[in-house]
Amino acid sequence: MDWEVHIERWSRAAVRLLDIREYSAEKGTLPDRYVTPSSFFIITTHGEARVSLSGTVYQARSPHILHGGKESELGMAPLGSDYACYVILYRADCDSPEEEESFRMPYAFHPGASLVLQEKCLAMHRLWQQTTSLGKLQAQSAFLPLVYEIMRQLCMSAKENGRPNLVTEAIYYIHEHYRKPITAEELAGIYGCSASYLSRLFKSQIGVGPIEYLIHARIRKAKQFLVHSEARIQEVAGSVGYADVYYFSRLFKKHTGCSPLQYREERRQAVQNNPLRLLKSSIVSSEPYSHNENEICYQWMGEGETSMFRFSRPTFGAMMLLCTTLLLSACQANNNSGAPSSPSASAGATAASETAETRTYKHLKGETEIPVKPQRVVSLFHLGELMAVGVRPVGATPHILDNPLIGDTSDITNIGNPPDLEKILLLEPDLIVTTEPFAEVVEGGYEALSQIAPTIVVEQYNDPIKDVEMFGDILGKQEEAKRWNEAFAAKIVQYKEKISPVIGANETFSILNVRPGSIFIYGDTNMGGNIIYKYLGLKPTEKVKNDVINGETWDISMEVIPEFVGDRLLLAVNDGAEEDMKRVDKFIRNTPAGKAGHIYPIDFDKFLFSDPISVEQQLDIIVDLLVEGSQ
């Protein structure tokens, strides 16, 4: 099915909620046979069942969503007493039989964030049970947001890899629920992982933790409310999740450099002094909602008191510079329209034409016209990938500029974290490259970046060979990419021969990272795992292979360390984890690696990144450790 067409039909149809029913095997309410009177969704929230839909059987294992049409014969055979689901009946009035057929089509998928859907179903079901007209009306108003979330997750699951990016999903959830008390544990629970793992993903993909980003989202919303409403500071604080107005004011000043009242006054003066009203926005409501919760819920492991984010105040001059540039360009074009061209002007025009040559590039957000050979690239995540093919971006985020293995980056502008649109604008890029998570953290998202320059959102392969090939294509540096990959492949062959005399054929490897309060076991993606297992072809232990590389284990207790650690161990110990390491050490000593003394310390900061420049140097470090440690 063409999901874009299907979603477009949802946006045009007149849709009405007819009923929402909660079924449970435990309560004995599952229907044996049921002919549906309208189109419907079945949202499985617990357990597993075989759901028969007009003769087609679906294995509905939570979380699961099934859609069907009117007059479908429905049957449910639970595979346990814990099976539960919601059946939501609706009617869609369409303009044509073809569009109407779209709402009868059966389809099924496993959503990535089931608790978000379950929460919406529960709220809608409670409203629908009310006898008042207002309750029914509110349930009707809750139906389309549920459909939107289903369609959004459907599109995510339809992607090539079929697995949503947890950081992108969590950022989306934060944007939707920033008014509520959110802890890192609760956020991680929504996506079925530990808080430490989610924090690790956030910091590896956008450079900050989830609670730090939550604060960023709240401060950003507070700015909008301050400028576009007359609400009191206490109302603004409550609207972004802070019950204590004094705590909110301190936090706001810490991150912006001024008090909420000062910010409101300065921004409104800037708007009044701007004849073009460039800073005016209509994207937020003029009446923020009141909310009263305890701000203690927002702090976790000290992350709430971070000053990592520094939100710069927009400069009026930057926007005026853009307008002036555009006006002058337009005037110059008009003045030159009737004048004869000189040879030098023709040569310049030819060069400009070559530079301006474009092509269509397909990426995660669709198709975009980009320069064939971009000259001024801003990269929000990929730095080593660009430099591997000989391109230095004009701007990048501090997350990648701080990579200790990249080298001198003094000529690359730090655009901030979260990225500052005005800094990007002043760099005059002809191409912006970002990942999904970074596209979400920018104020205004992908659309705002696209207004500055052609913007593409690319996959995070964490595979230097794939990444170099992809960026060689994006930047018109195919030959450079080919040379880098050939040299890297030759280096792998050379290093395999170098370590062959000192590594036994059946020896197994493991990678541990000890942090304050947590222990991570790594697979074959980063922290040296890609080098050990993929490129050098060394063996993981069976436990690492089954539970980590082919499973979803990442955070382990110290008691199970001997189950994961094999003959040789790469060990990264973070700052502040010295006491944790003392407790972990006795478990490591009882492993084959510990008994043989085959433990190789690695620097966490140097092994955090998976870009080509970093991986090449990490490869040197690992091979040297293995060879020197065996002498």
Paired residues of 24 in beta bridges? 84
Region for residue 132 given its phi and psi (left: phi exceeds 0; alpha: psi -120 to 50; beta: otherwise): beta
In what helix (H) or strand (E) does residue 57 lie, and over which residues does it extend? strand 56-61
Q: What is the C-alpha to C-alpha distance for residues 340 and 14, in angstroms, rounded to an integer? A: 59
Biggest CA–CA distance in the chain, Å, is 87
Paired residues of 76 in beta bridges? 51
- Count CA within 13 A, CB hemisphere, residue 606: 15
The whole-number pLDDT of residue 158 equals 66
The whole-number pLDDT of residue 163 equals 58
Concatenated DSSP letters of 152-202: HHHHHHTSTT----HHHHHHHHHHHHTTS---HHHHHHHTTS-HHHHHHHH
In what helix (H) or strand (E) does residue 52 lie, and over which residues does it extend? strand 48-53
CA 65 from chain centre, in angstroms, equals 23
Query: Can you give the length of the chain in residues?
Result: 631
Concatenated DSSP letters of 538-604: PEEPHHIIIIIISS---EE-GGGHHHH--SEEEEEE-TT-HHHHHHHHHHHTTSHHHHHT-EEE--H
The whole-number pLDDT of residue 548 equals 87
The whole-number pLDDT of residue 388 equals 93
CB atoms within 10 A of CB 397: 24
CB atoms within 10 A of CB 291: 17
Is-cis flag, bond preceding 63, omega within 30? yes
- 417 within 8 A of 208, measured Cβ to Cβ: yes
> Look-up: residue for tokens 């990929």?
382
SS3 content of the chain, % helix, strand, coil (to 5): 50, 15, 35
Given a cut of 70, the residues of the chain with pLDDT beneath it are 1, 158-164, 270-356, 629-631
Q: Which domains does the chain have, with CATH numbers?
A: 3-161 (2.60.120.280), 165-270 (1.10.10.60), 358-478 (3.40.50.1980), 501-629 (3.40.50.1980)
Pairing of strands 377-379, 395-396: parallel
Concatenated DSSP letters of 467-498: HHHHHHHHTT-HHHHHHHHHHHHHHHHHHHHH
